[in-house]
Amino acid sequence: MGLLIVGSVALDSVETPFDKIEDALGGSATYISLAASYFTAPIHLIGVVGDDFSKEYIELLENHGIDLTGLQIIEGGKTFRWGGKYHYDLNMRDTLFTELGVFETFDPQIPEKERNDRFVLLGNIHPSLQLNVLSQVNDNAFTVCDTMNLWIETAREELDEVVKQVNVLIINDSEARLMTNESNLIIAARKIMEMGPKYLIIKKGEHGALLFGEDQVFSAPAYPLEHIFDPTGAGDSFAGGFMGYLHNTGDLSFENIKRAVIYGSAVASFCVGKFSVKGLEDLDMLQIKDRFREFKKLALFNEGD
Ligand code: AMP
């Protein structure tokens, strides 16, 4: 049984202090699926694009073994477009525009045979769409959800319902603070866990990630990268690597979830090294495993005397 991924498939225009691009391949489901494709198969992508979405991008996704049966292509419709500009401090990003296009009327339809997929990743889209997907999938599925500040501010009720229903919530530190009105991340995490999810991952950008669950906390280091060209999709590729590894191993023990966090971090570290999805196009498992081992070294120390 496969890994079901729902989210945005987008054309991104991104500006950083180093370069800019227009209408490049992007979207939460795109980054997630590409990252997961290095770990597992089959991957079923559920999303929507217009007929302005290039065949080249479709081929790129298909060449990574991603099943696009659930990708709706709307005749005469316009693909979701997002524009963002990064500051010199790459942790700071302004959204320049969001053009919903075909997203405005998107009604995710999970093909019959994929409704039994045991692993479901709800990428960043409106929480009402995430709820729609949850209502179509198997009650026993292992569900993971990502979100963003926009939905915390504008669709709180629906988002709370999603959080109540999923097994894992992945958010970043500022979103955790926004969600709970709490500046301390440990207290924020406790408050979020009380809302429902069994596990919570708080990403801290270039400072690593925290995993909470089963009365334990695991702190994943950040990879010390010298060249970050485009942070877009870092969070999504983290989620894709995380879930791809769990789907492949089928092991949901806390120890294995810790490994999944490191694999997610490893893939994300490749994503940010190039513009758009370029950093995720030509990876292989050997490179990912090497980086996984480097992560291990980063946090290893002995007790001394
Ligand atoms: P991240 O850098 O992980 O926040 O993800 C960036 C991706 O999210 C971009 O490729 C965008 O196309 C996509 N994105 C931005 N805003 C939205 C939104 N409101 N709904 C869905 N996807 C979005």
Per residue in 277-289, pLDDT tens? 999 999 999 999 9
Question: Is the shortest distance between the CB of 124 and ligand 1 below 6 Å?
Answer: yes
Task: Please report the pLDDT score of residue 305 as a whole number.
Answer: 81
16, 72, 82, 91, 244 from 88: Cα distances, Å: 8, 37, 20, 8, 32
- Identify the band that residue 296 occupies on the pLDDT scale cut at 50, 70 and 90: very high
Task: Please report the pLDDT score of residue 205 as a whole number.
Answer: 85
Give the mutation target among 28, 33, 106 for probing the ligand 1 site: most ligand atoms within 8 A of CB.
Answer: 28
- Indicate which residue's Cα is closest to atom 22 of ligand 1: 8
In tens, the pLDDT along 120-172 reads: 999 999 999 999 999 999 999 999 999 999 999 999 999 999 999 999 999 99
- Would you state the structure tokens that stand for residue 107, as one six-digit string? 């009604």
Give the mutation target among 8, 91, 158, 159 for probing the ligand 1 site: most ligand atoms within 8 A of CB.
Answer: 8
Question: Is the shortest distance between the CB of 146 and ligand 1 below 6 Å?
Answer: no
Task: Please report the pLDDT score of residue 42 as a whole number.
Answer: 97
Domains and CATH numbers, the chain: 3-299 (3.40.1190.20)
In tens, the pLDDT along 247-263 reads: 999 999 999 999 999 99
Task: Please report the pLDDT score of residue 277 as a whole number.
Answer: 97
In tens, the pLDDT along 186-221 reads: 999 999 999 999 999 999 988 899 999 999 999 999
- Identify the band that residue 23 occupies on the pLDDT scale cut at 50, 70 and 90: very high
Task: Please report the pLDDT score of residue 171 as a whole number.
Answer: 98
- Indicate which residue's Cα is closest to atom 5 of ligand 1: 233
Task: Please report the pLDDT score of residue 131 as a whole number.
Answer: 98
Question: Is the shortest distance between the CB of 234 and ligand 1 below 6 Å?
Answer: yes
Question: Is the shortest distance between the CB of 82 and ligand 1 below 6 Å?
Answer: yes
Are 42 and 248 a contacting pair, CB within 8 Å? no
Question: Is the shortest distance between the CB of 125 and ligand 1 below 6 Å?
Answer: yes
In tens, the pLDDT along 213-236 reads: 999 999 999 899 988 999 999 999
- Identify the band that residue 92 occupies on the pLDDT scale cut at 50, 70 and 90: confident
Cis peptide before 42 (omega within 30 of 0): yes
State the CB neighbour count (10 A cutoff) for residue 45.
25
- At position 53, the amino acid (one-letter code) is F
- Would you state the structure tokens that stand for residue 255, as one six-digit string? 């120890």
Could you tell me the distance, in angstroms and rounded to a whole number, from the CA of residue 28 to the centre of ligand 1? 5
Question: Is the shortest distance between the CB of 241 and ligand 1 below 6 Å?
Answer: no
In tens, the pLDDT along 261-270 reads: 999 999 999 9
Q: Report percent pLDDT > 70 for the chain.
A: 100
Average pLDDT over every residue of 19-27 = 96
In three-state form (DSSP H/G/I as H, E/B as E, the rest C), the secondary structure along the chain is CCEEEECCCEEEEEECCCCEEEEEEECHHHHHHHHHCCCCCCEEEEEEEECCCCHHHHHHHHHCCEECCCEEEECCCCCEEEEEEECCCCCCEEEEEEECHHHHHCCCCCCHHHCCCCEEEECCCCHHHHHHHHHHCCCCCEEEEECCHHHHHHCHHHHHHHHHHCCEEEEEHHHHHHHHCCCCHHHHHHHHHHCCCCEEEEECHHHCEEEEECCEEEEECCCCCCCCCCCCCHHHHHHHHHHHHHHHHCCCCHHHHHHHHHHHHHHHHHHCCCCCCHHHCCCCHHHHHHHHHHHHHHCCCCCCC
